Amino acid sequence: MKRPYNFSAGPAVLPEAVLQQAAAEMLDWHGSGMSVMEMSHRGKQFEQICDEAEADLRELLDVPQDYAVLFLQGGGLGENAIVPMNLIGRREAHAADFVLSGSWSVKSYKEAQRYGDIAVAATAEQPAELDGSQQGPWTYMPDPMSWKVRPQASYVHLCSNETIGGVEFMDWPDPAELGVPQAVLTVDASSHILSRPMDVKRAGLVYAGAQKNIGPAGLTIVIVRKDLLGSALPICPSAFDYALVAENRSRFNTPPTYAIYVAGLVFKWLKQQGGVTGMESRNKAKARLLYDYLDTTDFYRNPVHRPVRSRMNVPFMLHDESLNGEFLQAAERSGLLQLKGHKSVGGMRASIYNAMPFEGVQALVDFMKEFERSHG
Ligand code: PMP
């Protein structure tokens, strides 16, 4: 059976080989007589699955030894509260500063306000003139040299891929370059983790929900420098105290065992694809194919400042918005699923994560050309 191409922003497409392996191992994992779902999280078998997943993730992202890798629950929005509860108390002022580049970073900023003295370091809320052209709100990334991080801040928060706006930003600055060496960079990398190499060392903490590039919803990854642990606020639930979770190798309480297992299969698949550098070249080629077409036509448009166009999430609008419904129906009939844009932006969005093959993007572009030809 040929499956349709699924452009969902998340939960999103997974590699077919991984789904097949999970199906084959569903009733009996490696002769254990059990499904992974039925195993004790403290047993030998699950210990092996969990430790191997951690080791593979470390290898893929070249995570230094002085960082802990945690498998948690709670999702991206959970981390919006769990990060401040763990990091804001590091310094006396209980302060943190946020770079606002779209919906997800704004949500992080609002949630953090419950836990300390929170300020905006920079925002893309206003239109701006960049490279001689006018950019609308939330279509660009404020230049790090313009970020105003307070000297007393415990951390500065960035969302390095805004899933809704389609803005991706990889030039993570070292807080020392910003004149605030005591603040650490905290990055929400939910929607592009493992799609390209990332310099984890530039950040004190990187977090990601699993349901885009990693595996099933329910698992959240946190990579955190160990010297930042140990100052959780007293109100922090112990299941979310990074120090306790790290000490117990992500088995302080019952972790999302099946999601960790599938993530582990995805990590092995990624290693077979040449790791994150292999993924990066495929992702570049996929994104280029789609953006190049968008740039040659007036029928569709993408509003994002070119240097920060996301390789993972590509929002695009039809010039004639009255055709949106027809476009989506015809796309579905052609086996191209879940292309509807987020309601706050409208139009369409193609999420082309690691597991989307080049042929899927080719099929989308062919469909878009044909739709333009018959409706232009
Ligand atoms: N951050 C980013 C960048 C996201 O894309 C999302 C979900 N789309 C979230 C946070 C929220 O994640 P969750 O739904 O897992 O809470």
pLDDT tens digit sequence for 283-305: 999 999 999 999 999 999 999 99
- Tens-digit pLDDT profile for residues 175-191: 888 899 999 999 999 99
Angstrom distances, CA of residue 228 to CA of 232, 242, 355: 10, 9, 33
Distance of CA 208 from the midpoint of ligand 1 (Å): 8
pLDDT score of 72? 98
Does residue 1 carry a pLDDT above 90?
no
Nearest residue (CA) to ligand 1, atom 12: 76
Q: Write the residue with the smallest CA distance to atom 6 of ligand 1.
A: 76
Nearest atom in ligand 1 to the alpha carbon of residue 220 is: 15
pLDDT for 2 equals 85
The encoded tokens of residue 57 equal: 């993730």
Give the ligand 1 atom nearest the CA of 10.
8
**Which of 167, 190, 194, 213 has the most ligand 1 atoms within 8 A of CB, as the residue to mutate?**
190
- Domain positions in the chain are 21-271, 274-375
Q: What is the pLDDT of residue 175?
A: 87
Averaged pLDDT for residues 46-74: 98
Which residue out of 188, 241, 286, 340 is catalytically annotated?
Answer: 188
**Ligand 1 centroid to residue 202 C-alpha, Å:** 22
**308 three-class SS:** helix
Tell me what the mean pLDDT of segment 157-177 comes to: 95
Tell me what pLDDT residue 26 has.
98
Residue 195 to residue 163: CA distance in whole angstroms: 14
Q: Mind listing the pLDDT tens digit for each residue in 310-343?
A: 999 999 999 999 999 999 999 999 999 999 999 9
Strand partners, 336: 5
Question: 8 CA distance to ligand 1 centroid (A)?
Answer: 13
Report the nearest atom of ligand 1 relative to the CA of 161.
Answer: 3
Give catalytic status of residue 147 as yes or no.
no
What's the pLDDT band for 144 if we cut at 50, 70, 90? very high
The count of other CB atoms within 10 Å of the CB of residue 322 is 7
Q: Which two tokens stand for residue 272?
A: 């077979």
Cα–Cα distance measured from residue 3 to residue 196, given in angstroms and rounded to the nearest whole number: 26
Catalytic annotation present for 269 = no
Q: Which of 82, 163, 219 to mutate to test the pocket of ligand 1 (most atoms within 8 A of CB)?
A: 163
Which residues of the chain form beta strands (DSSP E)?
5-6, 67-72, 95-100, 117-123, 128-130, 133-135, 153-159, 161-162, 167-168, 184-188, 205-209, 220-225, 300-301, 313-318, 336-337, 348-351
Q: Are 165 and 194 in contact (CB under 8 A)?
A: no
Cα 339 to ligand 1 centre (Å): 18
CATH homologous superfamily, domain 274-375: Aspartate Aminotransferase, domain 1 (3.90.1150.10)
Q: How far apart are CA 138 and CA 206, in angstroms?
A: 22
- CATH number for the region 21-271 comes to 3.40.640.10
Residue with tokens 């003139």: 129
**CB contact at 8 A, 231 and 92:** no
Q: Is 172 noted as a catalytic residue in this protein?
A: no
Q: Find the Cα–Cα–Cα–Cα dihedral 195, 196, 200, 202, rounded to 10°.
A: -130
Q: What is the mean pLDDT of residues 131-136?
A: 92
Ligand 1 pocket: which residues have CB below 6 Å? 10, 75-77, 104, 159, 163, 188, 190-191, 209
Task: Enter the tokens of residue 82.
Answer: 């769990």
* 80-100: average pLDDT: 98
Residue 169, Cα to own-chain centre: how many angstroms? 12
* pLDDT score recorded for residue 326: 98
Q: Which helix (H) or strand (E) holds 76?
A: helix 75-87
Indicate if the pLDDT at residue 133 is higher than 90. no
Which of these, 307, 308, 290, lies nearest to 101 by C-alpha position?
308
Measured in Å, residue 312 CA sits from the centre of ligand 1 at 14
The tokens of 85 are what?
A: 């509860």
For the chain, give the percent of residues with pLDDT over 70: 100
Q: Are 97 and 149 in contact (CB under 8 A)?
A: yes
Stretch (H or E) spanning 98: strand 95-100
